[in-house]
Amino acid sequence: MSAEFPIARPRRLRRTPALRAMVAETSLRPRELVLPVFVKQGLREPQPISSMPGVVQHTRDSLRKAAAEAAAAGVGGLIVFGIPAVKDGRGSAADDAAGISQLALSDLRAEVGDACVIMADLCLCEYTDHGHCGVLADDGYVINDATVERYASIAVAQAEAGAHLIAPSGMMDGQVAAIRAALDAAGYGETGICAYSAKYASGFYGPFREAAEGAPAFGDRASHQQDPANAVEALREVALDLAEGADMVMIKPALAYLDVIRRVADAVTVPVAAYQVSGEFAMVEAAAANGWLERERIISETLTAIRRAGASVILTYWAAEVARLLG
């Protein structure tokens, strides 16, 4: 290389770990990570999930313990998925004050108080006997407005149980407005909404459906979740949710949708969350178990990429482990 004129040498800033750390543009902090947790009614022992090594369906007791450990590690929040013992067509357990999700939410508030953000996933697929996200018409179509009415009632039950943030994941039109109105009317004007605004009809949810026992008995979710082909449409969904009162927005899945995360982050002034979903977790765990990828390196690289794309909060099954590693 010629020395006749100064040539930029980016490698100067890469010579030592300290130099690299000083100029790193993206960082990961425990409080930006949210741990998704599963709790099942009637379990005596935590149940492993075969497609998600290290993740379990919790009992109420084991969930409390896991939450205390996650909070001690500095994790920013937990998001709760409840699995009831009995399911029916309308998902009655979802808004039952004595339903498993509500019991778990209040257990978590009792355990960690305000030290961690307690989030409630709001959908019907774990509670309906048909595994769909709402109330069905005879032809199997998820009826929008009747479903949204159910969501509004569930949101109030979750707020009553102590959730700091309600996270509606059903992708029904108008769900955020209905939930906001119901929360306000019930005296929960301070309970926030983290909307799954751009949730794609993704194959990456496969392992989750074993964990949450919410696989559709027939059909799929393509009539309400987004088409993976679309990014502009995500901006439209986000704008609608913000107009309806969402306090935060979420993109899901994460790694295959980094472009969507970036576009949304550039377009809004609210915090943007991204969900590193079950299939993203399972792919890395499977490859690492075969010795094909370096597990911790890939975990860190994927989380860094999601932050770099513009997510300020990441939901990840590795939240507690990564929080501990970050110290």
Query: Does 151 engage in binding with ligand PBG (CB under 6 A)?
Result: no
The nearer residue to ligand PBG, 37 or 125, going by C-beta atoms, is 125
Cβ neighbours of residue 189 closer than 8 Å, sequence gap 6 or more: 183
Instruction: Decide: helix, strand or coil at residue 188.
Output: coil
Nearest approach, Cβ of residue 253 and ligand PBG (Å): 7
- Report the alpha-carbon distance of residue 87 to residue 93 in Å, rounded: 7
Nearest approach, Cβ of residue 34 and ligand PBG (Å): 12
Q: Residue 10: is the preceding peptide bond cis (ω within 30°)?
A: no
The nearer residue to ligand PBG, 205 or 257, going by C-beta atoms, is 205
Nearest approach, Cβ of residue 274 and ligand PBG (Å): 12
Nearest approach, Cβ of residue 77 and ligand PBG (Å): 15
Nearest approach, Cβ of residue 223 and ligand PBG (Å): 13
Out of 127, 205, 257, 318, the only residue in the binding site for ligand PBG (CB under 6 A) is 205
**Residue ranges in 115-144 that form contacts with ligand PBG under rule CB under 6 A:** 121, 123, 125
Cβ atoms 200, 257 nearer than 8 A: yes
Beta strands in the chain (DSSP E): 33-40, 47-48, 56-58, 77-83, 117-122, 165-168, 192-199, 248-252, 272-276, 313-316
One-character DSSP codes across 274-306: EEE-HHHHHHHHHHHHTTSS-HHHHHHHHHHHH
- Element at 241 (helix H, strand E): helix 232-243
The nearer residue to ligand PBG, 130 or 221, going by C-beta atoms, is 221
Nearest to 95 by CA among 17, 184, 169, 160: 160
Query: Does 169 engage in binding with ligand PBG (CB under 6 A)?
Result: yes
Cβ atoms 74, 28 nearer than 8 A: no
Supply angle C-alpha 267, 163, 97, rounded to 5.
135
The nearer residue to ligand PBG, 169 or 197, going by C-beta atoms, is 169
Nearest approach, Cβ of residue 167 and ligand PBG (Å): 8
Instruction: Decide: helix, strand or coil at residue 15.
Output: coil
The nearer residue to ligand PBG, 71 or 125, going by C-beta atoms, is 125
One-character DSSP codes across 32-72: GEEEEEEEETT-SS-EE-TTSTT-EEEPHHHHHHHHHHHHH
Q: Please count the residues of this chain forming the interface with ligand PBG, following the rule CB under 6 A.
A: 9
Query: Does 208 engage in binding with ligand PBG (CB under 6 A)?
Result: yes
Nearest to 246 by CA among 191, 200, 316: 191
- Report the alpha-carbon distance of residue 205 to residue 121 in Å, rounded: 15
Active site residues: 199, 252
What is Dmax (Cα atoms) for the chain? 78
Nearest approach, Cβ of residue 281 and ligand PBG (Å): 7
- The interface mask with ligand PBG, positions 234-263, x = CB under 6 A, is ------------------------------
The nearer residue to ligand PBG, 89 or 113, going by C-beta atoms, is 89
The nearer residue to ligand PBG, 188 or 281, going by C-beta atoms, is 281
Residues making contact with ligand PBG (CB under 6 A): 121, 123, 125, 169, 205, 208, 221, 277-278
